[in-house]
Amino acid sequence: MTNNEHVTKCGTVSILGRPNVGKSTLLNQLVGEKISIVSPKPQTTRNKITGILTQDNVQMIFMDTPGLHKSRSKLGDMMNKTIYATADDVDLAVLVAQADKFPGTPEHTLIDRLRKNEIPCILALNKTDAAKKDEILPIIGKYATMYEFAAVVPISARTGDGCDALLKEIEALLPEGDHIFPEDALTDQPERVLAAELVREQLMRALHDEIPHGVVCETERFEELEDGRVEVDVLIVCEKDSHKSIIIGRQGAMLKNVGTAARREIEKMLDTQIFLKLWVKVKNDWKNNAYFLSELSVMQED
C-alpha cells in the first residue's frame, strides 16, 4: 500500500454479510493473523470481533459481525442487534457477498440499513476462485442497481486474491485522524475470550450439525505462571444431556481430541505452553436465557 507520509488515517470498517459467506476468513486474511474463528458451518461468529491493521500512517479497525439471519432465539436477536449496531456506527462498510449468487433478503436488508445511515460501502464479491467469470458480471450488474457502491472488488478470502486491492479501496475512504490503537495491536479482544472461542471452533469442526449452535464456551480461569506458561480452564455449556454425552464422547475421546486441537491453536496465539482443562455443563434452553447471555464475556459488546 502506498500512503501519503504527511496524512495519518484511522477509521472503523464493518464487515457485513449473510452467514457463511467468508467474513471471518476475510478478517483473518486482511489482518494477517487468526482473530476470528472459522468453520464450514453458518453463524460461527456470534459477537463483534475487532481486528486491527496498521500499515505506515494508516490504521484500519475491522469489525467482523455475525451473519444476518432469521432469528429463532434471544441469542439470534442479540446477534442481529450486533450487526445493526455495527452497520450504524462505522466510517465505512464492506459488504461481503458470494460471487456466483444473486442478492437475497440479507443483502437487501443490509443495503437498506447502509443507505439509511449514508454509510459508504465497498462490495467484496467473495469466492471468485470457485465462480466462473461469466457468472460474476450479471451479479455485479444486479448489485449496481441496488446501491451506489464506492467500489466493487472481486476477492477470494481463502487464497487472499484481490485482498490487496480491497485494502487500497478501504484506505482511500478512511477519514484522517490519529491512530486509536498501538501500532502492534491486532485485536481488542481479551486473550481469555479468544481462548474460549478457539475451543468452540474445534467443537464446531468436530460435532454433528445439530449440536454446535447449542454450545457456548466461557473461560473460567486464565492464569499466567511464573515460568510464562498459562493455565486455561474453559467451561462448555450445551442444551441437552444427550449433547453432553456426544461432546464428551466414548471414554472421553471426543472431549480429549477437541482439547488437544484447541490447545494447539491457543499455544499458537499466545506463543507459549498451555495447560488446558475442559468440562461440560448442561443448561437447558440457554440461548433464550437473557440473564445467562448477559453474563457471557464472549457475548459482551463495548
Reported as a single tens digit per residue, the pLDDT across 203-212 is 988 886 656 6
Classify residue 273 as left (phi > 0), alpha (psi -120 to 50) or beta: beta
Cβ contacts of 172 within 8 Å, gap of 6 or more: none
**pLDDT at position 288 over 80:** no
Q: How confident is the model at residue 44 (pLDDT cuts 50, 70, 90)?
A: very low
Confidence of residue 89 (pLDDT cuts 50, 70, 90): confident
Q: Which amino acid is at 25?
A: T
Report if pTM > 0.85: no
Q: What is the pLDDT of residues 233-278, one digit of tens each?
A: 999 998 889 899 999 999 999 999 999 999 999 999 999 999 999 9
The model's pLDDT over 17-32, given as tens digits with 9 standing for 90+, comes to: 988 899 989 999 999 8
Q: Has residue 61 got a pLDDT over 90?
A: yes
Across 122-141, average pLDDT: 90
Give the C-alpha separation, 294 to 55, whole Å: 36
Whole-number average pLDDT of the chain: 85
